[in-house]
């Protein structure tokens, strides 16, 4: 059994851009997405993967991931997954011994930026870069599976201001 320990944050500034060590465009969709489990198909960098996360939209949950044929993933994304698909560029940034994954969304979620850090232990401490904003791990609307049903372009003015105010 795999376990993912991940925390999500908004960004306070664009200062992280100068520290990007690599980036990749990603296209993903969901075959199932509920309160306690999601099943995702993702294409990134010419590779395709099937991913299952179990345990809800929380910092610690079970995760399983498997490589699948690129043609199968393309067919699933184009013909089976609910829309809109989640499109983003992921940027990897190193900061004091940890790798931050910064997702810069496009398409239906254009304008949204979310930073994630994966940890080895849920109580692990980590250095917070100056460009890091408010933590949103506990807010389900920031999870990719939620962005399919309620994309950023459909967020109310109050939701957008709340996001901006907490950063």
Specify the number of domains making up the chain: 1
Domain coverage including residue 120: 3-166
CATH number assigned to the domain comprising residue 157? 2.40.320.10
Model pTM?
A: 0.91
pLDDT tens-digit profile, the chain (167 residues): 588 899 999 999 999 999 999 999 999 999 998 778 999 999 999 999 999 999 877 778 899 999 999 999 999 999 999 889 999 999 999 999 999 999 999 999 999 999 999 999 989 999 999 999 999 999 989 999 999 999 999 999 888 776 665 54
Q: Which residues are catalytic?
A: 30
Nearest alpha carbon to residue 51 among 66, 37, 33, 61? 66
DSSP H helical ranges for the chain: 70-79, 144-149, 157-166
């Amino acid at each position: 059994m795999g376990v993912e320990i991940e925390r999500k944050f908004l960004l306070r500034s664009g200062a992280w851009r100068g520290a990007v060590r690599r980036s990749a465009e990603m296209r993903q969709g969901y075959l199932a997405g509920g309160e306690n489990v999601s099943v995702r198909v993702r294409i990134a960098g010419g590779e395709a993967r099937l991913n299952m996360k179990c345990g809800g939209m929380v910092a610690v949950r079970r995760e399983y991931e498997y490589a699948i044929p690129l043609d199968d993933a393309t067919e699933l994304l184009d013909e089976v997954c609910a829309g809109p698909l989640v499109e983003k560029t992921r940027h990897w940034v190193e900061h004091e011994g940890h790798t931050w994954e910064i997702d810069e969304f496009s398409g239906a979620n254009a304008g949204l930026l979310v930073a994630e850090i994966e940890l080895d232990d849920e109580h692990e401490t980590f250095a917070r870069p100056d460009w890091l904003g408010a933590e949103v791990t506990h807010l389900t609307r920031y999870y990719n599976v939620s962005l399919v049903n309620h994309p950023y372009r459909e967020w109310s003015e109050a939701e957008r201001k709340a996001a901006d105010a907490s950063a």
